[in-house]
Amino acid sequence: MAGAFAEAGADLELVDLHKRFPGFTAIEEMNLVIPAGSFFALLGPSGCGKTTTLRLVAGLEEATSGRILIGGKDVTETKPYQRPVNTVFQSYALFPHMSVIDNVAFGLRRRGISDAKGKSHEALALVELDHLSARRPAQLSGGQQQRVALARAIVNRPALLLLDEPLGALDLKLRRQMQLELKSIQDEVGLTFLHVTHDQEEAMTMADTVAVMNKGRIEQLGAPEMLYELPRTAFVANFLGQSNLFTGPVSGTTATSIAVDVEGTRIVVPKARAERHTGTVTVGVRPEKLTLHTEAPEVDSSRNLLGPGRVIDVSFSGVSTQYILAVPGAGTVTVFAQNMGVGPLVADGAEVWVSWSVDHGFGLEDEAPPAPRFDADTDTATIAVQKKRALMSELEEA
Amino acid sequence: MTLQEGAVLADAVTAPKSRRRGRIGRTSWILPSYTTLALVFLLIPIVYTIVFSFNNSIKSNISWRGFTLDKWLNVCSAQNVCQAFGNSLLIGGVATVVATTLGTMIAIALVRYRFRFRAAISLLLFLPMATPEVVLGSGLASEFLGAGVEPGLLTIMIAHIMFCISFVVVTVKARVSSLDPALEEAGRDLYGSPGQVFLRITFPLLLPGIIAAALLSFALSFDDFIITYFNSGSVQTFPTFVYVSAARGIPAEANVIASAVFFIAIVIVITQQLAAAVRRRRLARTA
Ligand SMILES: Nc1ncnc2c1ncn2[C@@H]1O[C@H](COP(=O)(O)OP(=O)(O)OP(=O)(O)O)[C@@H](O)[C@H]1O
Ligand SMILES: [Mg+2]
């Protein structure tokens, strides 16, 4: 490995990986294959073990059990500096006593690669910071530091690049720009990227494969469209976008579909889109798949119908309007409607029905938890609240 | 003690100047007069020492007998002054190097590793700082006697290393605990072997603390009288020399050395301040 750039990405394989801290299991049991050259996103709430997973792969943390293979080679026992892996740290971890350029050149120099300085300048130019190469990290803004951390890792062209929320401190515009930049670097060199993020939109737009993590295990893994279309668990259904979930016993089965009885209302879901076909089942539908009706529509066997209910909240968000309905028996239902006309379709307090195509529903493996819905937002306020909650619960446990 | 003087000086130079001026009241003369008195009181012994290093004394250096540069030009002419001073430098140098090296390693181990008796060791290292010097000095002396070690340069060095280590550990430990472990992890992630990571990341980041610890060690060792006196045998350091000769009158050459040490300390502090200012300005320019 030493002395040369990686020609191409390497695949990463985690086999039965476990990580237990004293008194706390951070990774339950992880089995994962990331093909060479792919852009893999690890998405999950704060404290679910994303950083721990990356640290295990980088060799900064020792696995309790299980194996880690990079490019087919077992690296479980090797030291971090022997692994063809570089990390963009969540806390940047820039060396405060070195200039920006020396920070970026650090990895190249350790491996004795020629023209470390020139290559470092190129990497800095890529993140548009070459003009600040003589500064110390303390003289940069948070976003600039983050870009230096990115350049410091990318300049090494590792077979596997680990990114721990590398764009978290950037404003939206710079974030989009860096996303494109990252994606093009990845395409160009064919490196394997393992990208950790809170931001579901970032994960969905950039990654070939997204894995949703919760409490130390991967809940579901797949192409972004697949995950969104067919979430398998209530957690995924609500973490990736929003969902309306209804729980009830299966009351009828045909060759191709099941019907669930939700407090007297029949909701039909295709068998192919349901994980379970018997017992009590939670079914769901995305808010944008719902159609609002101001009077009772005709019964149509290809559509599910809920109602009548009452509009309890209308919030306008530019492209679309979000309606929250209270439907007796079904609870609250969220509807996103495109703003095609002028003004809202219905006003607060109006009586409405909602319907959706049977083909748009999905049936979950588990039952929806009674806990309040987890809203995966990307803004810092939400993240701060999440962090605070995690901290509070940690304090309570202690 | 030279280091305390140095620290006070450094503080005075770097302390932010207060922008807000209080109203000048009727009692405005009290604070300035009090300050002046205190300063004079503090400075008189130093000024006295410096002035009398130029005294054309014959035997005792108590009354003024005219100005001369002789004592400055021939410091070593007085019996034993230079030898005592040389001993002090040698002991200070050895104690500083050994104590700083060992103390730094202990400090890193105490912060970074979990091992048995870690808390106990932390506490034990603190003891020499809290124990009266007389107790330490006499205790060590009887131990050396019991072990049959002849008191001399070696016993003084061992004694000084012992108490310097405590100060080094405390100073460096603060620095180690404020060091973000993620930095060393980043170094390892960027292909740095453990040795390279220590040399290029850990050590440079700890250096300010290590330098402070070394200066403190040297000052403490150079200055120490009580512990040295108990364990020196026939060997004289500068402080024991001054103490012994005080009975017969301290030669002016001792004043010369004391003044020189004072000036050197001041020069070091001022150079440091200037260097820091230059560094700041250079950084500001690159920004
Ligand atoms: N050294 C440690 N000792 C004990 N517990 C730890 C340690 N490091 C992490 N944990 C715990 O393991 C869990 C996973 O931590 P991790 O840092 O992987 O979370 P994360 O998914 O990266 O979260 P975030 O999105 O907030 O960065 C957390 O609950 C954390 O408290
Ligand atoms: Mg993290």
Strand A192-197 relative to strand A39-43, pairing: parallel
pLDDT band at residue B37, thresholds of 50, 70 and 90?
very high
Closest CB from A58, A106, A134 relative to B286:
A134
Q: Minimal CA–CA distance to A280: which of A247, A252, A232?
A: A247
Check if A51 has its Cβ closer than 6 Å to any atom of ligand 1. Answer: yes
* Helix, coil or strand: residue B131: coil
Check if A49 has its Cβ closer than 6 Å to any atom of ligand 1. Answer: yes
Residue that has been written with the tokens 């006003």 in this structure? A347
Nearest chain B Cα distance for residue A94, angstroms: 7
Question: Which of B46-58 are b and which e, b meaning 16 or more Cβ less than 10 Å from the residue's Cβ?
Answer: eeebbebbbbebe
**Would the pLDDT of B35 be above 90?**
yes
Which DSSP category does B55 fall into? B
Cα of A90 vs centre of ligand 1, distance in Å, is 12
Cα of B186 vs centre of ligand 2, distance in Å, is 15
Chain A interface, Cβ < 8 Å to B: 2, 58-60, 79-81, 85-87, 89, 91, 93-97, 106-107, 110-111, 134-136, 139, 152, 156
Question: For position B13, what pLDDT does the model report?
Answer: 38
* Main-chain dihedrals φ then ψ at residue A283, nearest 5 degrees: -115, 160
The neighbouring-strand residues paired with A148 are none
Nearest chain B Cα distance for residue A168, angstroms: 18
The neighbouring-strand residues paired with A173 are none
**Contacts with A116 from chain B: Cβ below 8 Å:** none
Cα Dmax for chain B:
71
Give B128-187 as a DSSP string.
HHHS-HHHHHHHHHHHHHHHTPPPSHHHHHHHHHHHHHHHHHHHHHHHHHTS-HHHHHHH
Nearest-ligand number for the alpha carbon of A26: 1
Instruction: Report how far residue A60's alpha carbon sits from residue B186's, in angstroms, rounded to the nearest whole number.
Output: 9
Instruction: Report how far residue A49's alpha carbon sits from residue A56's, in angstroms, rounded to the nearest whole number.
Output: 10
* Mean pLDDT (chain B, rounded): 87
Question: For position A344, what pLDDT does the model report?
Answer: 66
Chain B interface, Cβ < 8 Å to A: 180, 182-183, 185-193, 196, 200-201, 204-205, 283, 286-287
Question: Which of A151-171 are b and which e, b meaning 16 or more Cβ less than 10 Å from the residue's Cβ?
Answer: bbbbbbbbbbbbbbbbbbbbe
Residue that has been written with the tokens 């040698």 in this structure? B90
**Would the pLDDT of B3 be above 50?**
no
Cα nearest neighbour of B186 on chain A: A93
Contact A60 B188 (CB under 8 A): yes
Question: For position B20, what pLDDT does the model report?
Answer: 53
* Helix, coil or strand: residue A247: strand
Nearest chain B Cα distance for residue A194, angstroms: 15
Q: Measured between alpha carbons, how far apart are the two ends of chain B, in Å?
A: 40
**Would the pLDDT of B221 be above 80?**
yes
Contact A136 B205 (CB under 8 A): no
Cα of B197 vs centre of ligand 1, distance in Å, is 25
Check if A26 has its Cβ closer than 6 Å to any atom of ligand 1. Answer: yes
- Domain extents in chain B: 3-52, 79-230
In tens, the pLDDT along B181-203 reads 999 999 999 999 999 999 999 99
Contact A135 B187 (CB under 8 A): no
In tens, the pLDDT along B49-90 reads 999 999 888 777 888 888 988 888 888 887 788 899 999 999
Check if A216 has its Cβ closer than 6 Å to any atom of ligand 1. Answer: no
Alpha-carbon separation of residue A378 from A29, A51, A198, A324, B39 (angstroms): 27, 18, 7, 21, 61
In contact, A282 and A238? CB cutoff 8 Å: no
Closest CB from B180, B185, B196 relative to A60:
B185
- CATH architecture, domain defined by A242-371: Beta Barrel (2.40)
Check if A47 has its Cβ closer than 6 Å to any atom of ligand 1. Answer: yes
Cα of A398 vs centre of ligand 1, distance in Å, is 15
Question: Which one of A17, A18, A20, A21 would you pick to mutate in the ligand 1 pocket, going by the greatest count of ligand atoms within 8 A of its CB?
Answer: A21
Nearest chain A Cα distance for residue B101, angstroms: 22
Confirm whether pTM is higher than 0.80: no
- Domain extents in chain A: 2-229, 242-371
Nearest chain A Cα distance for residue B185, angstroms: 7
Question: Which one of A17, A19, A20, A24 would you pick to mutate in the ligand 1 pocket, going by the greatest count of ligand atoms within 8 A of its CB?
Answer: A24
Q: Measured between alpha carbons, how far apart are the two ends of chain A, in Å?
A: 44
Question: For position A375, what pLDDT does the model report?
Answer: 45
Cα of B36 vs centre of ligand 2, distance in Å, is 58
Q: Which residues of chain A have pLDDT under 50?
A: 1-3, 371-379
Nearest-ligand number for the alpha carbon of A19: 1
Question: CATH assignment of B79-230?
Answer: 1.10.3720.10
Q: Minimal CA–CA distance to A77: which of A87, A68, A90?
A: A68
In contact, A234 and A282? CB cutoff 8 Å: yes
Residue B117, phi-psi category: left (phi > 0), alpha (psi -120 to 50), beta (remainder): left
Residue that has been written with the tokens 């929320």 in this structure? A165
Mean of pLDDT values over B150-175: 94
Which DSSP category does A165 fall into? S
Query: What fold does the segment set A2-229 form as a domain?
Result: Rossmann fold (3.40.50)
Closest CB from B183, B189, B192 relative to A60:
B189
Instruction: Report how far residue B5's alpha carbon sits from residue B50's, in angstroms, rounded to the nearest whole number.
Output: 16
The ipTM value here is: 0.77
Check if A192 has its Cβ closer than 6 Å to any atom of ligand 1. Answer: no
Check if A55 has its Cβ closer than 6 Å to any atom of ligand 1. Answer: no
Check if A42 has its Cβ closer than 6 Å to any atom of ligand 1. Answer: no
Tell me if domain A2-229 and domain A242-371 are identical in fold.
no
Whether the link from the prior residue into A308 is cis, omega within 30° of 0, is yes
Nearest chain A Cα distance for residue B114, angstroms: 13
Residue A115, phi-psi category: left (phi > 0), alpha (psi -120 to 50), beta (remainder): left
Check if A52 has its Cβ closer than 6 Å to any atom of ligand 1. Answer: yes
Which atom, in ligand 1's list, is nearest to the CA of A53? 18
**Contacts with B180 from chain A: Cβ below 8 Å:** 91, 93
Q: Minimal CA–CA distance to B218: which of B91, B42, B40?
A: B91
Residue that has been written with the tokens 């440091």 in this structure? B272
Instruction: Report how far residue A226's alpha carbon sits from residue B65's, in angstroms, rounded to the nearest whole number.
Output: 101
Check if A357 has its Cβ closer than 6 Å to any atom of ligand 1. Answer: no
**Contacts with B287 from chain A: Cβ below 8 Å:** 135, 139
Q: In the structure encoding, which two tokens stand for residue A217, read together? A: 């295990």
Contact B183 A110 (CB under 8 A): no
